[in-house]
Structure 1
Amino acid sequence: MSDTGYGDFEFERRFWVRDLPTDVLDGAPTLIVQSYYLADEGFAIRLRAQTSGGTAVLDPSLEPLVVLDTFADRFDFCAITLKGPMNVGTRYEAEREVDVAVGLEMIRRGGSRIVKTRHSSWLGSDGWVIDTFGGANAPLVVAEVERGGPVTDLQIPAFCVTEVTDDPRFSNDALSRAPYGPWAAQFEAELAARGPRFLRGLGTNELEQPREQS
């Protein structure tokens, strides 16, 4: 239960990234493997295992189960989460921590899996997480900001090319069933044809200007 007055509702906005500056990456990334036992029209049951900060950056060619076995002794947190559909940056999420050993075995035994390396960075007035996906979802990179209430009047870093908050294809539960890799070129073509988009109705979007090349 959240202590922000919104119960188990989470507030976040997510952005597709093409070129990520290395100076925004922290030196203590987290390795995450997730398995979805239900993923249907935004409703999901997810089991997540993750390491503490400091794991080496993931080789994006590795599949989730290979990563789970390779780094098994480094996973030190596991939780099961119930999720509802995203609605303009708001989503129901109820989480409970579970035993790590049990969680790892359940991930091995079933569900649709994804793997990613997560970096955390303070940018402007918000804390951001930047996920670099591996396995069939490579080379996807998604930047996400989360607050205790609606994410309004957001300063959006220049490396955030377009917003995917309300694009159901980019939810992690959808990516576990329809990985990004096979449709990456299609998405790039869509983006080139229509241009970037950002949610309206959440205050003012302040877009950072790209850095000049030296």
Structure 2
Amino acid sequence: MDTSDLTPLTDRARGLASAGGRRVLGIAGPPGAGKSTLAARIVEELGERAVLVPMDGFHLAGAELERLGRADRKGAPDTFDAAGYAALLRRLRDAGETCPVYAPAFDRALEEPVAGSVRVDRDTPLVVTEGNYLLLDEGPWAPVRGLLDEVWFLDADQETRVGGLVERHVRFGKSRPYAERWVAESDERNARLVERHRDRADLVVRRR
């Protein structure tokens, strides 16, 4: 399946939303694959029946990354609050939850997570969440896969993906040489880790 025609994907997501109760759909893939774009389009198609809760809201704050000595590899698995993300997924699945659930998002202009950015009402039947590490089976990421009803792995041509990553970093204020070095040394290392877990997905989607 690929993204040239979104109809089969939106139909599949609509089926999850109609299955009863609250369902959670994950979209995983390497950096720059287009996860956030696909997730946003799915949510747009479903309207009030879906809401987007990005994994990137659980980035550790820049000050904490500096304290931990991890700022030079921001985006690696241990630069997120993975346990906090898993706890949010559990809360979203809790049938006894009666209040709206507020989730964080990530502001790329600030390069920081922002708490309480996304409201999930009790009667919203589908949560779409996207991020690099939904399929990891190790450390604090291990519980995440079991908290997702379905996971799609978004695959993309490497040249297109890497070029898009560089342009994204430049667009948000990085110099081109810095962006190219960061993608080669950090983003691509993370991409190789993500690729190793693609067989845990329910569906592989090719970006077109």
Give the shorter-chain TM-score range. Answer: under 0.3
Q: TM-score, normalised by structure 1?
A: 0.27
Q: More strand by proportion, 1 or 2?
A: 1
Q: More helix by proportion, 1 or 2?
A: 2
Greater RCO, 1 or 2 (C-alpha within 8 Å, sep 6+): 2
Q: TM-score, normalised by structure 2?
A: 0.28
